[in-house]
Amino acid sequence: MALRLILDKAIHTGDLTRDEVVALLSLEGKDVQRLFSAADQVRKQYCGEGVHLRGLIEFSNICSRDCNYCGLRRGNRRIRRYRMTPQEIIDVSADVVRKGLQTIVLQSGEDPWYTAERMVEIIQGIKSQADCAVTLCIGERSYADYLAMKEAGADRYLLRHETSNPELYHRLHPDMRLEDRVRCLRDLKDIGFQVGAGNMVRLPGQTIEDLANDALFIRDLEADMIGIGPFIPHPNTPLSDKSGGTLEMTLKMIAVVRIVTRNAHIPATTAVGSIDPFGRKKALMAGANVVMPNYTPIEYRVNYEIYPNKRCLTEDPSESRAWIEAMGRVVAEGKGHSLKRSAQ
């Protein structure tokens, strides 16, 4: 099918076949810009001009997993490990809300010290001090744990599926299985969390067809939020000598996911900002509508090294606001709940 027809369909229905998604992800040269414009048009129609700010707190870099790509993997001995106390997390969250952000994202490695009971204490502590939404990004847990955290007041949960190719998934995470990941995502939805999935781009051995399947997996899951970033090789991991994802491929993936999901919240991720100084801005022009400034206290932040040269922006909301407004967009008001259901 001619590109013009695929792009028309992309803009008007988003109901693309797998072959059409592959065709879009394979675009090169100046056609790529036409894909980005189509995604930008869909973003404008379904999400408007508002960019949602989410305040990120990376509260522990201790991890019981050994993912082959990640600098926090338990096998990496060359990293100074830290844990923030529940009170520290609550205090930093209150500070972030005072700065005007209305969503706190709590992210960590899979650290068993933070039992469901401790997470409940943290969530309740945050919610009793500040009027904000809480998003968790702490990995695979039992149904009972997820339920306890939801009942304590957590609103959203990010758990990237990383790749929808089961063999590739298993190669990257020898002690994990894709079906467990998917079960967690279904549990989270069942419990009533707004759920985020997502994948990395250009993982070693990943094909364009795999990426197309990721886009369709995300669409079928009806994810509320989708995090997409380039794979960036980390020197202290088994994948240190592999090549990383390109900006263009990552932006094409963001654009395609915008087109097939219509109104999902899609961040311009730190990873995309780390491979290009204008990466996040370019992502916002290719379908993204969320920015996540990092509020991890600086003494910890330097040790949250998922991948190298992570841009550790000491960005205050006024700075985010400035560059967002300079591109003709606005910072969205409110908590920025999912657009896929009425705010909870």
- Minimum CB distance to ligand 5AD, residue 30 (Å): 28
Residue 115 Cβ, how far from ligand 5AD at the closest point, in Å?
A: 21
Of 89 and 232, nearer to ligand 5AD (C-beta) is: 232
Shortest reach from residue 158's CB to ligand 5AD, in Å? 8
**CA 10 to CA 266: how far, in whole Å?**
17
Whole-number Cα distances in Å, 299 to 15, 97, 234, 269: 46, 21, 21, 22
Q: Could you give the 3-state DSSP secondary structure of residue 161?
A: coil
Rank residues 259 and 271 by Cβ distance to ligand 5AD and give the closer one.
271
**Residue nearer to ligand 5AD on the CB measure, 243 or 344:** 243
Between 10 and 232, CB nearer to ligand 5AD: 232
The nearer residue to ligand 5AD, 69 or 193, going by C-beta atoms, is 69
Nearest CA to 26 among 198, 255, 249, 284?
249
Q: Which residues bind ligand 5AD (CB under 6 A)?
A: 69-70, 160, 162, 200, 229, 231-232, 234, 271, 306-307
- CB-based burial label for 94 (10 Å; 0-12, 13-18, 19+): middle
For 38, the 3-state DSSP assignment is helix
In the chain, count of helices (H) and strands (E)? 14, 9
Least distance CB 248 / ligand 5AD (angstroms): 16
Please state, in angstroms and as integers, the Cα–Cα distance from residue 192 to each residue in 155, 189, 227, 239, 317, following that order: 8, 5, 19, 36, 30
Q: Least distance in Å: CB of 73 to ligand 5AD?
A: 9
